[in-house]
Amino acid sequence: MITQWKFNHMQSYKINMRFLTLSIAALASAVTVLAADEVKIDVTRAVECERKSQKGDKISVHYRGTLQDGGKQFDASYDRGTPLSFVVGKGSVIKGWDDNLLDMCIGEKRTLTIPPAFGYGDRAMGPIPAGSTLIFETELMGIDGVEAPVSIIEKSSASSVADSATEGVKHGAASVVSKAAEAAMTILADTDGDGQEHNEL
């Protein structure tokens, strides 16, 4: 015969297991969103240099911007023949630029795929529809106070910055997973007041 204590104990365990299952599903969804909302960096020309762009530098950047949906170009400094100058890392431009044009050599080229959260969000901006993912081909033309190299020395591999960005996403996702796992294990603690824990998992 199942005692009332045993019955209550089993019911509590079933409820906790259902909660754990829902928590894991929500966690998987959160990790997917985290990865989807990151800016993707492709270094299309890696360059060797001693001085890279830093937060607070005034830099000059050539760019070409297109919409991921349909590939339509909405702006390009290349067409005007004049790069855009701004102080990087200080909020002068969209976050997708501000955070991802750092640690860059003069002459280096990067293609940034910028989701709405790091672009213009839900606002329409001229030819850019609300909620657009933007693709920018960028080229660092100069850093104020830093002498431009006489010649550009390209690296043999252009993957270093992209790898670094990917590792950043992985670290963020791992942190979310770790915290959720700790919370889930806490939920599995016995709620009937006997001080015991469930060790079935």
Whether residue 48 contacts residue 155, with contact meaning beta carbons closer than 8 Å, is answered with yes
* Domains delineated in the chain: 39-158 (3.10.50.40)
38-77: per-residue pLDDT in tens? 999 999 999 999 999 999 999 999 999 999 999 999 999 9
Vertex 9 angle, CA 5 and 15, to 5°: 145
76-103: per-residue pLDDT in tens? 999 999 999 999 999 999 999 999 999 9
Q: Report, as residue numbers or ranges, the catalytic residues.
A: 63, 74-75, 94, 120, 136
Long-range CB contacts for residues 185-192, cutoff 8 Å, separation at least 24: 187/16, 187/19, 187/20, 187/23, 188/16, 188/20, 190/9, 190/12, 191/12, 191/16, 192/5, 192/8, 192/9, 192/12
